[in-house]
Each structure stands twice: as C-alpha cells, then as structure tokens.
Amino acid sequence: MLCIYIIEETDNKVYPYSLYFLRELLPFCRKIIVLISEKTPEEDKQSIEELGCQCLRRPDSEIGVESWRYGLDFIDYNNIKKYSSVILCNNSFFGPFSDLNSVFLKMEQERCDFWGITEIKTESLTYLQNYFLCFKRSLTSSSLFRSFCRKVLSGKAGKKEEIEKKITDYFIRAGFSYKSFISYSQVSKAGTPDSTQFSPVDLLKLGAPFVKKELFINDSNKQFLTGTLEYPNAAIDFIRTKTNYPFQLFYKYIVKKVPASRLKTIFLTDFVTSGYISKERKSKSKVALILHVFYPELLGNCKKYVLSMRPEDKVVIVSSSSTLLRSYENELQTKFPNLEIRLQPNRGRNEAAYFLTCKDILENYDVVCLAHDKKLPHLPQVEGEKAFVHCFENCLSSISHVDQVIKLFDSIEYLGLLCPPTPQVAAWRDLSSNPYGLNLKQAKELIRGVNKDFPFDVNPPFPVGSVFWVRKGALNNLLNLTLSDFPEEPLPSDGTFLHALERLYPAFVVMNGYVPGWIFSDKGFKVYTEEVSINLRRLASASLVFKNFGAIGLIKKILKKNLIHYNLIKKYLQ
C-alpha cells in the first residue's frame, strides 16, 4: 500500500502522536509519504525520516486536501498503479487504539472500490469522512482517479464538509462503490449525523482505531448545547483503561493545545468531598499551608480553618505585622509543632507571600494550600464575609476535607490545582461571563511575555480570592518573581498586576503540564448549587426580556427613556 499522510499544526511542529501512528502503519505500507509545512523544524522532519517514511515539505499555500494532490503528483500517477491500495489521511485524529491488521483484513474482503473508517448521514446524503480514506487498485488504476485529484483535490473544492461529500459522490456517480469500516447504522442516533462526535465510545467499542481530535479540542459550547459535555471524558476513560495506547502521547498534546477551562471540562476535574472521617491520613505526601494575614479581627475565623490541617503538616503564617504574627503564634504553636511565622514587607500582599516569602515551601512540599484572610473593605460587610466563607469552606472546611483533597492529588497524577468554584452571588454574580474585567489587557500581556503561542483562555477557572490547593511544580513559572515585580501600596480594588496574575494561575498550571479543577466541601457544594440555580433563573429572565422586545427594539426604548421598560430591564439585569 501507499499512504500519503498530511501533518498540519498551528505551530508547524510534529508531535509524538503522529510518529506513533506512522510507526503502527508502517508494517502495512510499502511507502509512506508525509507532507509537512515549509516551516516545520528540521529535527521534526528528521524524526519522521528515521522511521523510514519519506518526508516532503509542501508549499504552505497548499493546505488540507490540496496536500494530497501535491503528494500524488510527486509519486506520478503511472506509479500509483503499482500499489494495491492508496491511503489518504491526515493528523486530525489520535490512534490507533485497536489492531490495524483487523481493520485492513476486514476491508480487503469487502466488495468495494474505496472505504473509510466512519461515515456521516444527513437527510439527503451519506458519505465517508475524509480523515482516513483507502482507495483500492480497481479505482486508482482508473483515469477517473487522476481526474478526481485535479478536480476535487483543489483549492476551489470548498470547505471540509463539502469536500467530504464531493469525494464520495464523485466516485459513486462514476459507478464505483464504497464501504465504511463502521457504518452509520451501527452507531446511529437520531438527529446526530457525525458519530465521531456523538458516539465516540460506541465507535471505540466496535473497534474503531481512531478518535477525532476535535472531540477534545473544540470549545465546550456545542457539546453543552447538545447535551454531550461528558463524551470527551468518557472517551478518555475508555482509552486509558481499555486500550494499550500510550496515554501520555494524547495528554502531552492536549495540554499544549487546549486552554485550562476546556481541560477542566474534558477531564471533569470537579470534586466534592464527603463527611467521612479517618483517624489518620494515608499519604506519603508532604503537606503545607501558607496563610498570609493582615486583619487582626479575622484571627478567630482563620484559626478555625487552620485547625483543619493535621499536626504533622507544615503551617507558615506570613504578615507585614510582627504583632499579628505573634498573636497567631500564641494561638497555634501548641497545635502545630512545625508552625513557622515569617515577616515580609507590606508589598505584594498574599502573592508575594506565596511566591517570594514562601518560595521554598512550594519547592519542597508536595501539596500546598495557599490562603489569605479576606475582608474586602470596598464592599458591604456581608459580601466580604461571603467571600471569606466561600474560599475557606471549600478549601479548608475540616480535617476530613483536607485529607480527601490530598488523596485526590495522590491518585490523579495530572491534577495541578484545586480551587473553589467561580462565585455566583453578590458582586461576583456576573464573573462567569466577564472573568477578566479591568484586567484583560494586562493578563494578555503577561501570557504573551511567558509563552506567546499559549492559547489564551477567555473563561479561566481561576481561584477567585486566591485561596487554593496546588501541586509541587505546577506554578514553577512564578517562583522567579522579585519584590520589584509587585506594585507598591496603596492599591486600587481591581485592575492591578496582582488581579491579572490571579486570573492566570490555571494557565501557568497548564504550561507546567497539569490540569486545574474545582473543589467543593459537602456544604459548599449544596450552597453553590442553590446559588447557581438562582443565577440561571435570573439570566433566563433577562434573556426573556430581550426575546420579547428584540435587541434593537429594547435599545430604542432605553434611548427614549421609557422608564417602564428601563426599570423592567434593570430589575432583571441587576
């Protein structure tokens, strides 16, 4: 067989998952031609050639199916007849997850002229998906195959979906027949034409060797709207537990290409602890708490949560007030033999405490809770109290809760950060739709300064209030900060380097190869569920107002100062 394999990446690199596919395919092919970008690094080209494949740099003006034509032109159509079959495929999938030999044996016995792995069925048409197509000699020896390359595999062919339809339709009209390794009828779900997106686990169970990358890489909105948000995670679970595929090939690619919010969704890193109490923590991890304190009046509240740590844990209290440090020392020294107090300048607040004053703690302890007392004097007192409780209840609610958090880090090797969920009430009720606020420009500049190619996360699952748990190594990017990086006091309530940095913690965790997640205590989850429910009703009511009046009509009425409608809008949007 002859195979022409296209590699297209936004950064023009060749990733190990592609090399694995080629290595698995080689035993079945006399020749494999790999088409890469003109900008692909030379060492990546060499890694392909070392496998025994021929590697061609295609013009970057030829993308997608045009690259197949480039490869076929290179072979010369008269030579194509020498091969029993011609495979045209690209790197839009992971795999193989099953034995390719069984795939080829089955399809060799099928009475057809060309075949693919899966097919799409619409109301008017059924056609093969073009991520992996195999054309038998009965078709490639025909003059129509060359004509197909000239007419269909051209820059004027149209969008991907249109090309897929044209490839199948072109040969069917010419009298050729096709088969799909897994037919649509085997995995069909009414109203869902693409089984690679709506039946990924069913396909794997039936022996499909590949899973499309878009199942994991596409944003979550489409899957949310179709009720399939958990499908990527189900596919991941199947791949990890039911196949021999090297999971790290998949994982290392995904964490480079997908923002933190999407990773959190596809790995479903949301956890709720139970009230189960154990006599001892069964973990070898070194655990620490870093607590930055500023308000003397919150000592009692903070002490309550500090006591959720076990006596053997390291507890470090940081403050710019030596008096306050002595107060904490008097309250906690009998409970924690490893208690330490550290004085720092009144600059950088809790972020300086985390990454400068206690840099050694993050470097030497396996799992660390980063926390600080919260009061929010610029808001009503009740809202400041809510922020404090939301953060601490979900991070340090009890000894049992902390033990279960440590167990999560011990058992999930890719888990890098756990924080309370985005608040849904009071001053934070619209934070989910506008997470950056005044900090968007500065956050983008910070990310570009660290890694210009890193995908910017428009909805980061960041620890609002900067109270969270983190794994050793997950925030290494921040351990080189100096005091001069932090702004001097006094600081505004928003829009500073500290506020931008807070929103980027999940991004830094992903850069270091880990996934962020949310953590709830049992009580915290119950409260949060009610708050989310009320917020959803509020948003639905606001949406109804827009639906009834129409966006343009609504704006006109506001501009005319029609107070009846203005007050109605104000009521629902507040």
pLDDT score of 431: 86
Q: Over 80: is that where the pLDDT of 188 sits?
A: no
User: Any idea what DSSP says for residue 13?
Assistant: -
pLDDT score of 218: 86
Token pair belonging to 45? 């080209």
pLDDT score of 555: 54
pLDDT score of 551: 55
Note the pLDDT tens digit of each residue in 524-538.
999 999 999 988 887
Radius of gyration, alpha carbons of the chain: 29
Q: Over 60: is that where the pLDDT of 274 sits?
A: yes
Q: How far apart are CA 318 and CA 345, in angstroms?
A: 10
Residue 136 forms beta bridges with which residues? 85
The pTM is what?
0.91
52-63: average pLDDT: 88
Q: Is the bond preceding residue 380 a cis peptide, omega within 30 degrees?
A: no
564 pLDDT band, cuts 50/70/90, is very low
The whole-chain average pLDDT of the chain stands at 91
Q: How far apart are CA 507 and CA 287, in angstroms?
A: 23
Burial class (CB in 10 A: 0-12, 13-18, 19+), 35: buried
88-109: average pLDDT: 97
Note the pLDDT tens digit of each residue in 426-447.
878 778 889 999 999 999 999 9
pLDDT score of 574: 47
Within 10 angstroms of residue 552's Cβ, the number of other Cβ atoms is: 8
Q: Over 90: is that where the pLDDT of 294 sits?
A: yes
Ordered DSSP codes for 61-94: T--THHHHHHHHHHH-HHHHTTSSEEEEEESSEE
Phi-psi label, residue 492: left if phi above 0, alpha if psi -120 to 50, beta otherwise: beta
Share of the chain above pLDDT 90, in %: 73
Q: Compute the Cα dihedral for 527, 530, 533, 534 and give only its sign.
A: negative
Angle of helix 143-151 versus helix 160-173 axis, rounded to 10: 160
Token pair belonging to 173? 């009209």
Q: How far apart are CA 494 and CA 65, in angstroms?
A: 49
Q: How far apart are CA 20 and CA 51, in angstroms?
A: 10
106 or 559, which is more confident: 106
Q: Is the bond preceding residue 377 a cis peptide, omega within 30 degrees?
A: no
Q: Over 70: is that where the pLDDT of 448 sits?
A: yes
Q: Over 90: is that where the pLDDT of 452 sits?
A: no
Residue written as token pair 């269909």: 152
Note the pLDDT tens digit of each residue in 203-259.
999 999 999 999 999 888 889 988 999 999 999 999 999 999 999 999 999 999 999
pLDDT score of 561: 45
DSSP β-ladder status, 468-471 and 415-419: antiparallel
Token pair belonging to 488? 């001097």
Residue 317 forms beta bridges with which residues? 291, 341
562 pLDDT band, cuts 50/70/90, is very low
pLDDT score of 220: 87
Q: How far is CA 248 from CA 7, 13, 79, 279, 550, in A?
A: 20, 17, 39, 36, 49
Closest CA to 135 of 65, 87, 78: 87
156 pLDDT band, cuts 50/70/90, is low
- Given a contact cutoff of 8 angstroms between Cβ atoms, the answer to whether 67 and 58 are in contact is yes
Q: How far apart are CA 243 and CA 252, in angstroms?
A: 18
- Given a contact cutoff of 8 angstroms between Cβ atoms, the answer to whether 477 and 508 are in contact is yes
At 414, the amino acid letter reads Y
Note the pLDDT tens digit of each residue in 361-393.
999 999 999 999 988 776 777 887 898 999 999
- Given a contact cutoff of 8 angstroms between Cβ atoms, the answer to whether 394 and 421 are in contact is yes
Note the pLDDT tens digit of each residue in 310-356.
999 999 999 999 999 999 999 999 999 999 999 999 999 999 999 99
Q: How far apart are CA 553 and CA 548, in angstroms?
A: 9
Share of the chain above pLDDT 70, in %: 92
> How far from each other are the two terminal CA atoms of the chain, in whole angstroms?
65
542 pLDDT band, cuts 50/70/90, is low
pLDDT score of 572: 43
Q: Over 80: is that where the pLDDT of 91 sits?
A: yes
- Given a contact cutoff of 8 angstroms between Cβ atoms, the answer to whether 92 and 214 are in contact is yes
pLDDT score of 547: 61
DSSP E strand stretches across 68-187: 85-90, 93-94, 114-116, 119-121, 126-128, 132-136, 178-180
pLDDT score of 161: 62
Residue written as token pair 């639906």: 547
Q: Over 80: is that where the pLDDT of 3 sits?
A: yes
